[in-house]
Chain A
Amino acid sequence: DQQVKQNSPSLSVQEGRISILNCDYTNSMFDYFLWYKKYPAEGPTFLISISSIKDKNEDGRFTVFLNKSAKHLSLHIVPSQPGDSAVYFCAARTNAGKSTFGDGTTLTVKP
């Protein structure tokens, strides 16, 4: 049973437009939700997170939205840049510290 799901394996957007990456989860005990960015043959890099008691967190071009009733979160990147092209992982943490990851969405930003 996959507790964190990213249903879109890939997403392609034009430079300057908005990228929206989606994530669904099933476990109500998750207390933090996080997004990571990963380039091939490298480790993921932490991007942004949101507490389960919040519904929005913003950091520069990146905004994460959380809808607890729907068990859904999304990452918005505005404006998208070619350097944003990477695999984006959604993750959820319990208060024990473990993180469960989704399968990732490959974002391609076209110039």
Chain B
Amino acid sequence: DGGITQSPKYLFRKEGQNVTLSCEQNLNHDAMYWYRQDPGQGLRLIYYSQIVNDFQKGDIAEGYSVSREKKESFPLTVTSAQKNPTAFYLCASSRDRASYGYTFGSGTRLTVV
């Protein structure tokens, strides 16, 4: 079955450490996205990529980095520069720019202690 896999589902890290969240899709989608959700709030865009080897900053990119070396993979690194990293992180993909309706992964809950 096609879909998006995010791993791990729960992640704990000490303050000051970098951590990388995995996102893999087998839907052959061109575009991939990273969103962050905080309690009681909507989804805020961190980074997005429309093609391999290209990505753009979203609304809250500070303290995060990404790479898109393969079509299937779009890992997100939460660096120590991110002031409030504890959140629920969601990865999504879509076919192309004109397509509507993202397919989301099941999310990674990151807790920094």
Chain A residues at the B interface, C-beta cutoff of 8 Å: 4, 6, 9, 32, 34, 36, 41-46, 49, 89, 91, 93, 95-104
CA distance A93 to B97 in the complex (A): 9
CA distance A89 to B6 in the complex (A): 21
Is there contact, CB below 8 Å, between B92 and A100? no
Is there contact, CB below 8 Å, between B43 and A97? no
CA distance A93 to B94 in the complex (A): 12
CA distance A45 to B3 in the complex (A): 12
Is there contact, CB below 8 Å, between B101 and A34? yes
Count: A-B pairs, CB below 8 Å: 65
Is there contact, CB below 8 Å, between A97 and B101? no
Chain B residues within an 8 Å CB radius of A104: 41-42
In the complex formed, the residue of B with least CB distance to A45 is: B104
Partner of A43, one of B31, B41, B45, B104: B104
Interface of B is mostly: strand
Is there contact, CB below 8 Å, between A97 and B31? yes
Partner of B42, one of A41, A43, A89, A98: A89
In the complex formed, the residue of B with least CB distance to A95 is: B97
Is there contact, CB below 8 Å, between A43 and B96? no
A68 smallest CB distance to B (angstroms): 17
CA distance A104 to B100 in the complex (A): 19
In the complex, which residues 1-57 of chain B have their Cβ closer than 8 Å to any Cβ of chain A? 4, 6, 31, 33, 35, 40-45, 48, 50
Is there contact, CB below 8 Å, between A102 and B104? no
Chain A residues within an 8 Å CB radius of B44: 101
Known: A46-B103, A89-B43, A103-B40. A96 touches B90 (CB 8 A): no
Is there contact, CB below 8 Å, between B43 and A101? yes
Is there contact, CB below 8 Å, between B100 and A34? yes
